Amino acid sequence: MIISTTTCNLLENDDFCAAVKMIKDAGFDAYDLSLEVLTKDENSRFNKDDYLEQAKKLREYADSIGITCNQSHGPFPTGYKEDDKTEWVFQKTVRAMEIAAICGAKQIVVHPQKPLPYVLYKEKLKEINLKFYSSLVPYAKKFGIKVAIENMWGRDPYDNKKTVIVDSICSHPEEFCEYLDSFPKEHFTACLDIGHVVLTHDSLSRTITMLGHDRLGALHVHDNNLLDDNHTLPYLGKIPFDEVISALREIDYSGDLTLEILGFDKAFPKELKPAALRFAAEVARHIADSI
């Protein structure tokens, strides 16, 4: 099983090659190309007119050091109350799909649009997202890349402090499966975020087995305290990874294992990041081998 991790928590001065080199040196097989920069950093190389050339250079560099791009993460949030902002991020998402495909990614994680509180507008949001994801089909075909839908969590709209976590789009496997089954399998898959499942108080084994072998194509693996989206290294929080491993083994999971451990990496000074990343790769390899 291929193990990978994200570039976003290792990115300094927009230097993707340096981040990819760190991931390679740590012992990972692949890297998850974090393209949130398209909406968070207008000065990023991928927002320039020569973004295709920049993507090709990154692909060539990664190939030269022997590491692949297994998947990518698109910009988010993907939807706003304002139509012009939603259109702006849609165009950035399409660009992200093109860049990711050039770099070799098999799939790109695209968050559902959440311009309204889920607890109040569940059916309206489903209508919005069926239209949104359908609009990405031509680009998935054009670039030869799958769109990976991710399970979400949200904040209670009635909580002024914004500390209470509530359900959101695809929080539970029944709705997640409904979404996935609405689109052609050759262009869509599920990216199951392990940490998000426990935040919305569902069973990890139930979620994984309901998604099953054919729907589940990607993982975001990290740990938390069951109360907040900490994004730390597995076994440093309270998520029962034995249950995760057992369920993935049961469905004969055939995708990759991608760590999304922003909270873990940020805890270390620059000098210690390579060592921390090497340990993270060992943890990822242990989980992959166990599956």
Task: Give the residue among 65, 69, 66, 96 at the shortest CA–CA distance from 5.
Answer: 69
pLDDT of residue 125: 98
pLDDT at position 144: 98
**Rounded-to-integer distance, Cα 70 and Cα 52, Å:** 18
pLDDT at 160: 84
Residue 189's pLDDT is 98
Mean pLDDT of 269-284: 97
User: Do residues 191 and 220 touch, judged by C-beta distance below 8 A?
Assistant: yes
To which H or E segment does residue 57 belong? helix 51-65
- Identify the pLDDT of residue 51: 98
The predicted-structure confidence for 18-54, as pLDDT tens digits, reads as follows: 999 999 999 999 999 999 999 999 999 999 999 999 9
Would you state the pLDDT for residue 159? 87
Tokens of 236: 């440093």
What span, in angstroms and rounded, lies between the C-alpha atoms of 196 and 74?
18
Tens of pLDDT along 202-261? 999 999 999 999 999 999 999 999 999 999 999 999 999 999 999 999 999 999 999 999
Question: Domain span at residue 13?
Answer: 3-290
Q: Domain tally for the chain?
A: 1
**Average predicted confidence (pLDDT) for the chain:** 97
Burial label for 66, CB within 10 Å (0-12, 13-18, 19+), is exposed
- Average pLDDT score over residue span 104-119: 97
Read off the pLDDT of residues 54-72 as tens digits, 9 standing for 90 and up.
999 999 999 999 999 999 9
CATH number of the domain at 151, please.
Answer: 3.20.20.150
pLDDT tens digits along 187-203:
999 999 999 999 999 99
